[in-house]
Amino acid sequence: MELFILQVMPTLQQADTTSTIIAIAVFGFFVLFLVIAGMRGTQAKPGGGGGSGKKKAKFNKRKFRRYAANRGLTRQEALTLEDIIRRNKVYSPYSLLNNTPALDSNLRKTLNEIEESGLEANLREAKKLTLYRIKQKIERSTKGVKPPSSSQQLKVGQAVSLSVNNVRYQTKITSNLEKSFGVEVPKDKTSTEIRWRKWTKAQIYFWRPNGQSFSFDTKIVGYNVIRGISSVFLQHSDSIKEAQQRRYRRKPIERPAYIYPIRIITSGFGKNSSRKAIVDKNRGNLATLIDISAGGCAMRSSYPLNRGELLKIEFETEKRQKVTVFGKVMGMTKTYPTGGIMHIMFTRVSRSHMNHINSFIYSFEQARERRYPRL
């Protein structure tokens, strides 16, 4: 621009009045062109705004709905997110389509608003369940992280499953050293520690919060007491394999529960026959709920049901909310010396009870308690 001024100024001094006016007009047009081009360039940059970097990008509903569909969301679920974006004045709308803290923060805020809205119970539970389904779909569609390169990356306190001789035990990491790592020694129903010989082969299974599961082979190398916890030490491994991602996030719970077998009674003959499910309350047993997800759970029992059997489960969450679910045993792993761990798929759960489960899994329930403490 400076070069242009130097070229114009001599002309202004030597030209007549008409030439001078033309030169000034050309110079003014050029300056105006530069100003307009600069403004357009600023507007084209996401977040641009006079160099502040805080100008909000224009929200494109069609683009947002297309991205939402790619995440597996229905049109109604996408509209629900758009309503949250509008009411909460979300600065970065597209961040809600990824498994981000922004998504959790806005879902938590909206769940609290629904809880306090005074809506009719069924409508309130339906709205809450929609939010949890949005969270689950986005969490599942978000690309998972790579497997850890070594078992040395396991964190103390992390829940894992230890498998020895095809029997699995739920335990946790107690220490992680340079050449080995420790897990809490499993116990039988009499609280007696279960121990194996040195160099016995074993497998470790663990999960990430988004449902990704990993496993690796190892061997038992010894025993020791770590911070007062009796621990079995295992060899490190650099060969960690990723297993199939779970459909729903699963969370440890370790709470007592009652299980009741369900019998199917057929009455009538031929076309007039009908089947009825009867809960056998006389055969109820106490069990331990190990972990839970929106799709199922794992339970430890001295009297487990066999694969394919139906059952009713009753338990309480940490907030002492009673939950009742119906399920089907998809598999059973025997435990030492008796009993086993049942892997159960839920077949029927009410909206309100499913919301209690999801609230526990995603910790929204605890967050609400912290915000509104009991008097």
Q: What is the mean pLDDT of residues 365-373?
A: 47
Lowest mean pLDDT among 52-61, 230-239, 362-371: 362-371
Q: How confident is the model at residue 11 (pLDDT cuts 50, 70, 90)?
A: very low
Q: CB-based contacts of 6: which residues, under 8 Å, 6+ apart?
A: none
Q: Exposed, middle or buried: residue 306 (CB in 10 Å: 0-12, 13-18, 19+)?
A: exposed
- How many angstroms separate the CA atoms of 248 and 295, rounded? 6
Task: Give 144 or 6, the one with higher predicted confidence.
Answer: 144
Cα–Cα distance list, 20 to 7, 105, 119 (Å): 13, 64, 75
Domain spanning 151-242 has what CATH number? 2.30.110.10
Report which secondary-structure segment, H or E, holds 364.
helix 364-371
Q: How far apart are the first and last CA of the chain?
A: 71
pLDDT for 228 beyond 60: yes
Q: Which residues pair with 251 in a beta bridge?
A: 292
Fold of 251-371: Thrombin, subunit H (2.40.10)
Which is it for the CA torsion 144, 149, 150, 152, positive or negative? Answer: negative
Segment 270-282, tens digit of pLDDT: 777 788 889 999 9
- How many angstroms separate the CA atoms of 343 and 341, rounded? 7
pLDDT, position 29: 67
- How many angstroms separate the CA atoms of 74 and 93, rounded? 17
Return the structure tokens found at 212: 């990704």
pLDDT, position 36: 65
What DSSP character marks residue 15?
A: S
Q: CB-based contacts of 182: which residues, under 8 Å, 6+ apart?
A: 173, 174, 175, 176, 224, 226, 231, 232, 233, 234
- Give the number of other CB atoms < 10 A from CB of residue 62: 7
pLDDT for 299 beyond 70: yes
Q: Do domains 151-242 and 251-371 have the same CATH topology?
A: no
Domain spans, the chain? 2-44, 61-141, 151-242, 251-371
- How many angstroms separate the CA atoms of 366 and 318, rounded? 9
Segment 33-74, tens digit of pLDDT: 666 655 554 444 443 334 444 455 578 999 999 999 999 999
Return the structure tokens found at 116: 């306090």
Segment 84-124, tens digit of pLDDT: 999 999 989 999 998 888 999 999 999 999 999 889 999 99
Mean pLDDT, the chain, rounded, equals 83
Q: What is the dihedral of CA 185, 188, 191, 195, to 10 degrees?
A: -40
Q: Which residue carries 């089907």 as its tokens?
A: 328
- How many angstroms separate the CA atoms of 293 and 320, rounded? 18
What DSSP character marks residue 90?
A: -
pLDDT for 3 beyond 70: no
pLDDT, position 336: 67
Q: What is the mean pLDDT of residues 138-167?
A: 85
- How many angstroms separate the CA atoms of 357 and 289, rounded? 13
- How many angstroms separate the CA atoms of 138 and 97, rounded? 6
Cα–Cα distance list, 8 to 21, 219, 328 (Å): 12, 85, 88
SS3 content of the chain, % helix, strand, coil (to 5): 35, 30, 30
Segment 183-222, tens digit of pLDDT: 999 987 788 999 999 999 999 998 776 667 889 999 999 9
pLDDT for 308 beyond 70: yes
- How many angstroms separate the CA atoms of 262 and 280, rounded? 6
Q: CB-based contacts of 250: which residues, under 8 Å, 6+ apart?
A: 207, 211, 291, 292, 293, 361
Answer whether 159's CB lies under 8 Å from 210's CB: no
- How many angstroms separate the CA atoms of 207 and 252, rounded? 11
Answer whether 139's CB lies under 8 Å from 211's CB: yes
Q: How confident is the model at residue 30 (pLDDT cuts 50, 70, 90)?
A: low
